[in-house]
Structure 1
Amino acid sequence: MTLFAVLFEDDQQNAAAIRKEYLPRHFAFLEANAASIRTAGPLSREGDAFAGGLWLVEVETAAAVDRLVKEDPFWAAGLRKSVKVFRWNQVFAEGALL
Structure 2
Amino acid sequence: MLYSVLFEDNVTRAEAIRREFLPDHLVFLERNRGRIIAAGPLRDASDAPAGGMWLVRAETPDVVEELVRADPFWPTGLRRSHRVLQWQRVFGADVFAA
Q: Same fold (TM over 0.5)?
A: yes
| Partner residue in 1 for 2:26 | 27
Q: Which moved more, 1:47-56 or 1:79-88?
A: 47-56
Q: Is the 8 A contact 2:13 2:77 kept in 1?
A: no
Aligned residues with identical type, % of pairs? 51
Q: Structure 2: where are the runs of 5+ without partners?
A: none
Q: Structure 1: where are the runs of 5+ without partners?
A: none
For residue 57 of structure 1, give the secondary structure of its aligned residue in structure 2: strand
Matches for 1:1-98 after TM superposition, within 5 Å: 2-94=1-93
The separation in 2 between residues aligned to 1:19 and 1:5, in whole angstroms, is: 21
Deviation at 1:46, TM superposition (A): 2.9
The separation in 2 between residues aligned to 1:62 and 1:46, in whole angstroms, is: 30
Moved over 4 A (4+): none
The separation in 2 between residues aligned to 1:46 and 1:4, in whole angstroms, is: 24
Deviation at 1:11, TM superposition (A): 0.5
Query: Relative to total residues, which structure has the larger strand share, 1 or 2?
Result: 1
Q: What RMSD over aligned residues (CA atoms) do the two structures have, in Å? A: 1.3
Q: Name the count of aligned residue pairs.
A: 94
TM-score by length of 1: 0.91
